[in-house]
Amino acid sequence: MSVDIRPFKIDVPLEEVERMKRKLRDTRLPKNPIVPEAGEDYAGPSMDWTHRLYNKYLDFDWPAAQDHLNRHNHYIASIPDENTSVDIHFTHTPSPSPDGIPLILIHGWPGSFAEFDRVVDCFANPPSSDMPSFHVVVPNIPGFMWSSPPHRKGWTLQDTARLYHKLMLSLGYSAYVAQAGDWGMFIARELGAKYPACEAVHLNFCPTPLPEDLKDSDLTEREKMVNDRCDDWLDDHLGYAVCMRSRPHTVGVGFIDHPVGIMMWVGEKFNELANPDNQDEKWEQIILTQVCLYHFSGCMMTAMLPYYENVKHAGFGEFVLKEENRIKCPMGYTSFKYDSRPGTKRGVERSGNLVFYNESDHGGHFAALECPDVLLADCRKFFDEHFTR
């Protein structure tokens, strides 16, 4: 069977928008923190942040956000796989240039295709003719937004890579490059390890441990920072992941139709994994756009599946170091200081054919939203040098 691709448009009925607003208005938030002067010490955003974002949610202009997202062409691809088919929602923004490089951008959790909103147009239409241009494909992982959930138990991100490869071929791209972070890293890693058509992979998340024989005195200042941040993340910030990988039905049912619940569950990550200096009013609008996408698509429960079906956080390092998971094509990496586990060169290079490395002290986990200029510059330089036209 061939891949069937049909146009799609985000079109949330106004009565659904009003229903969400009614539920918001009918929600009673706690007035006080769990203990006086709790701040952010009790594993979560402060009560001041919560009330501020809630009040902005009440006035959030979803129709305007929807129009903005619909500026790109959306599609649903029904991709044959394992005697059935899986629907993948994606945007496709080709460059006007016939020399454009096919690029697939891959999100994680709590992201979506909208995680790349600030870079798609610049990739496809660079400001200078001296810069490479890209044919940009941004899919949603199965179970996210309007991509159908996996059709069986045990669906891994390596299975999703197989679908994405088929998608790129069906769009006429016999060779392509990939960029990813978070869970998308595992998908891009599989493409770079197993599919020769994927000619280069750039990551902004790559939780690879440093060589075991390094002594503390051998570590650079950034490597020490990374070790401390990683230890803190594993010790104090994984409550959300434990819940989603152990109780996805409980958490999913609790949140799926609760806009404030989604706001807190999704918003927390945008709060704690971004540079505080980047969290302005525009950042809050980004959070609310993601929250609304999760709410209106009804995907809150199925978007938890990557946590249930794939390797646990404590096993990330072991996974990326396995020979079968090593990225064989040219690999690029940009380390962002405020990520949960920002990689360093001596660690990342153990997991693939690292030929490009850069560091940024200004962004975090959501690099394409926080530091679009850095990500654009790094990807342009790296992919231009390592894609065969």
Residue 361 within a domain? yes
Residue 117 within a domain? yes
Residue 266 within a domain? no
Q: How many domains does the chain have?
A: 1
**Choice between 319 and 228, residue whose per-residue pLDDT is larger:** 319
Non-local CB neighbours of 120 within 8 Å, separated by 6+ positions:
72, 91, 93, 105, 136, 138
Residue 150 within a domain? yes
**Quick check: 116 pLDDT over 90?**
yes
pLDDT tens sequence across 126-156: 999 899 999 999 999 999 999 999 999 999 9
CB 364 within 8 A of CB 205: no
Residue 127 within a domain? yes
Instruction: Kindly report whether the global pTM for this prediction surpasses the value 0.85.
Output: yes
Average pLDDT (253-274) is 95
What's the confidence (pLDDT) of residue 379?
98
pLDDT tens sequence across 154-210: 999 999 999 999 999 999 999 999 999 999 999 999 999 999 999 999 999 999 988
User: Catalytic residue numbers?
Assistant: 182, 307, 365
Non-local CB neighbours of 331 within 8 Å, separated by 6+ positions:
192, 200, 201, 202, 203, 351, 352, 353, 354, 355, 356
Percent of the chain past pLDDT 70, that is, above it, reads 99
What's the confidence (pLDDT) of residue 211?
87
Residue 213 backbone dihedrals phi, psi, to 5 degrees: -85, 0
Angle formed by the axes of helices 248-255 and 239-246, to 10°? 110
What's the confidence (pLDDT) of residue 1?
63
Max Cα–Cα distance, the chain, nearest Å = 62
Q: What is the CATH number of the domain that holds 177?
A: 3.40.50.1820
Residue 43 within a domain? no
Residue 289 within a domain? no
**CA distance from start to end of the chain:** 29
What's the confidence (pLDDT) of residue 215?
82
Q: Which two tokens stand for residue 333?
A: 């990496």
pLDDT tens sequence across 40-61: 777 788 999 999 999 999 999 9
Helix (H, G, I), strand (E, B) or coil at 331: strand
pLDDT tens sequence across 60-87: 999 999 999 999 999 999 999 999 999 9
Amino acid at 145: M
CB atoms within 10 A of CB 26: 8
Q: E strands within 48-131? A: 74-81, 84-93, 101-106
Amino acid at 233: W
Residue 6 within a domain? no
Domain that includes residue 358, residue range: 67-214+312-385
Mean pLDDT over each residue of the chain, to the nearest integer: 95
pLDDT tens sequence across 299-332: 999 999 999 999 998 899 999 999 999 999 999 9
CB 365 within 8 A of CB 274: yes
